[in-house]
A and B are shown apart, each in its own frame.
Chain A
Amino acid sequence: MSSMPRKQSKRMSAKSKKQPFVILQTSSKSLWIVLFIALLGIASLAAIGLAPLRPNEFATYHALVESSRPQKESPVLSYAEQERHDVRKEIWFRKEVKPLYIQITSRDSALFAFPDGNKVEVIEEMNHVRCLMQEELYYLLPDGREATYQSGGILTTKQGVTVDPRMPGLVPMQQVRYMEAATASYNYNSQVFIGHDVKLWRYKIAGHTPVFDYSKEKPLMAGNAATVRFSLQGDDLSFEATRMQAQFDPKDGFR
């Protein structure tokens, strides 16, 4: 400043008086300080990139974090149980036009509800179980062919021939599966039924209304199995049996 001409320094003083919002004029010393801080920051970032933390340092870090957290509560085993007597379950199974009927009865049962992960599992253990299941509802034509309702409400034979529902001589028929089990379990979540020490029969009888007395009906098949398993989920009524013995009898009129 002392080296500047007087006129110039006077001019600058005048300027600063006229314009108070003047950009800060830093001294060279301040500039060096700013540059040093910037370089220090850049160097720090480089160090992090060039020298990552070692695994044991991560472990130490996480241990410190965990130790600072409150302790989790230890899990408690809990379940609910309910005893039932003379239980009857009725399920209408939607298939094509006419729904199918399923009935499961038991003399005694115990219902268990217990947590399993994020959900509650509900299982019913049953004794002296009877299960009636309509497998198919169809019509018997006068010529012996069978016809069922397809999607769209059209009645067709198994060969695909359309049948007029008002056709005289149509006989409503049902194919039924009937089971008796010493014990059984039903999982409400998976809708899976498993019977143990099972006796089973298959019938073809007249009518579409569920029938509960088969004492006068002749079964097409009679058998027993160590276990029988089927699911009520979806529209699949298939079942699996283990150690099954079955007896097939010819239909009436054939020896």
Chain B
Amino acid sequence: MKKWLLLLLVTSALYGEETTRISSDVANYDGHTIVLKGNVELNNALGQVLAERAVLTRDEEGRAKIDFPWVKLTGKVRATLQNGSHLICEEVFLDYLAMTSLFLGAPELYYKDPHGELYATQATVEYREIEGHIRPAKMVLEGNVQMINAEALQYALADRVEYSFSDEVMVLTANPGKSVLFYDRQKEIQLSAARVQGRRNENGKESIQGSGDVRFLFKQDELTKLKERFHWE
């Protein structure tokens, strides 16, 4: 499950622990904000982000360690990382002061790396500064969350996914009256529950637990839903 969460690296790239380079066709600066338009490109050691437009807002109060701690990227935002992963969404909001980043899809964001794919309406990542480095602390995916681990043939549908990087615990939840659907086709594990928790234990093995109304066999409509979402035969 952790393989799905390489999304965090994208946001580190956007924050720019290292020097950040930005280019665009046109740049306007009025003393408070920098507006970049046309072929906006943001690069640093971790990767590259492309967008149609970016707005960088200056920290007038001198609270942040970056001169422009608020960055908004809009218009077909695409991030490519050195490890080969990709993120596509419509808008990204980076708040270095609050140490958060928000990704919005239109209608959904898409993330892919060599291990799997992920869809959601939006994603929020919270960070902490640890020994001078920005590190992700928590990530929340919301809205029609679909997770695919093609390597392990694992699939999940949920309304919300929350992951804690310190604990390495992932929690999938569904809206009231609905269920989280987790399916491991390789091991033939079917799990339908209001809440599903995945954790990596001390041995390095992953354990999955369901809570609430738990079933280990999908209903026909649940199986149909999975087939339609993931295009199975």
Of B23-31, B83-91, B100-108, B194-202, the segment with at least 4 beta carbons within 8 Å of chain A is: B23-31
Apart from A247-B22, A250-B65, what are 5 other A-B pairs with CB-CB below 8 Å? A241-B26, A244-B24, A246-B27, A250-B17, A255-B17
Of A12-20, A59-67, A138-146, the segment with at least 4 beta carbons within 8 Å of chain B is: A138-146
Q: Given the complex, which residues of A lie within 8 Å of B233, measured CB to CB?
A: none
Interface string of A228-255 (1 = CB under 8 A from B): 0000000011111111111111110111
Q: Given the complex, which residues of A lie within 8 Å of B60, measured CB to CB?
A: 146, 158
Q: Does B132 contact A (CB under 8 A)?
A: yes
Please name the 8 residue pairs, one residue from A and one from B, whose CB atoms are nearest each other, closest first.
A238-B30, A245-B23, A146-B62, A158-B61, A244-B27, A158-B60, A254-B65, A241-B27
- Min CB distance A237 to B, Å, is 6
- Min CB distance A176 to B, Å, is 12
Q: Does B21 contact A (CB under 8 A)?
A: yes
Q: Is the CB of A248 within 8 A of B16?
A: yes
**Residues of A at under 8 Å CB distance from B?**
135-136, 140, 144-146, 157-159, 202, 204, 220-221, 225, 236-251, 253-255
Q: Is the CB of B61 within 8 A of A159?
A: yes
List 26 interface pairs A-B (beta carbons < 8 Å), by A numbering. Answer: A135-B31, A144-B62, A145-B61, A204-B67, A221-B67, A225-B27, A238-B28, A239-B28, A242-B26, A244-B23, A244-B27, A244-B36, A245-B21, A245-B23, A246-B22, A246-B27, A247-B20, A248-B16, A248-B21, A248-B68, A250-B19, A250-B65, A251-B66, A251-B67, A254-B66, A255-B17
Nearest residue (CB) in B for A247 is B21
Nearest residue (CB) in B for A243 is B25
Q: Is the CB of A240 within 8 A of B21?
A: no
A247 in complex: contacting residue of B19, B27, B132, CB < 8 Å: B19
Q: Is the CB of A238 within 8 A of B29?
A: yes
Nearest residue (CB) in A for B129 is A254
- Chain B residues with a Cβ closer than 8 Å to the other chain, count: 26
Q: Is the CB of A145 within 8 A of B62?
A: yes
Q: Does B63 contact A (CB under 8 A)?
A: yes
Q: Given the complex, which residues of A lie within 8 Å of B36, measured CB to CB?
A: 244
B66 in complex: contacting residue of A242, A245, A247, A248, CB < 8 Å: A248
C-alpha gap A158/B60 in the complex (Å): 6
Q: Does B3 contact A (CB under 8 A)?
A: no
Scoring A135, A236, A249 by chain B CB atoms within 10 A of each residue's CB, the highest score goes to A249
**Residues of B at under 8 Å CB distance from A?**
16-17, 19-31, 36, 60-63, 65-68, 132-133
C-alpha gap A157/B60 in the complex (Å): 9
C-alpha gap A145/B66 in the complex (Å): 14
B28 in complex: contacting residue of A145, A240, A247, CB < 8 Å: A240
A248 in complex: contacting residue of B24, B25, B67, CB < 8 Å: B67
Q: Given the complex, which residues of A lie within 8 Å of B132, measured CB to CB?
A: 253-255
- Min CB distance A203 to B, Å, is 11
- Min CB distance B63 to A, Å, is 7
Given A146-B60, A244-B23, the answer on whether A253 and B31 have CB atoms closer than 8 Å is: no
Given A245-B22, A246-B21, the answer on whether A251 and B27 have CB atoms closer than 8 Å is: no
Nearest residue (CB) in B for A248 is B20
Scoring A136, A158, A204, A236 by chain B CB atoms within 10 A of each residue's CB, the highest score goes to A158
Q: Given the complex, which residues of A lie within 8 Å of B66, measured CB to CB?
A: 248, 250-251, 254
Q: Given the complex, which residues of A lie within 8 Å of B63, measured CB to CB?
A: 144-145
B23 in complex: contacting residue of A157, A220, A236, A246, CB < 8 Å: A246
Q: Given the complex, which residues of B lie within 8 Å of A241, measured CB to CB?
A: 26-29
Q: Is the CB of B61 within 8 A of A157?
A: yes
- Min CB distance B53 to A, Å, is 14
Q: Given the complex, which residues of A lie within 8 Å of B133, measured CB to CB?
A: 255
Q: Is the CB of A253 within 8 A of B65?
A: yes
Q: Given the complex, which residues of A lie within 8 Å of B22, measured CB to CB?
A: 245-248
Q: Given the complex, which residues of B lie within 8 Å of A254, measured CB to CB?
A: 65-66, 132
Given A136-B31, A247-B21, the answer on whether A220 and B26 have CB atoms closer than 8 Å is: no
- Min CB distance B35 to A, Å, is 9
- Min CB distance A182 to B, Å, is 19
Q: Given the complex, which residues of A lie within 8 Å of B17, measured CB to CB?
A: 250, 255
Q: Is the CB of A251 within 8 A of B65?
A: yes
Q: Given the complex, which residues of B lie within 8 Å of A237, measured CB to CB?
A: 31
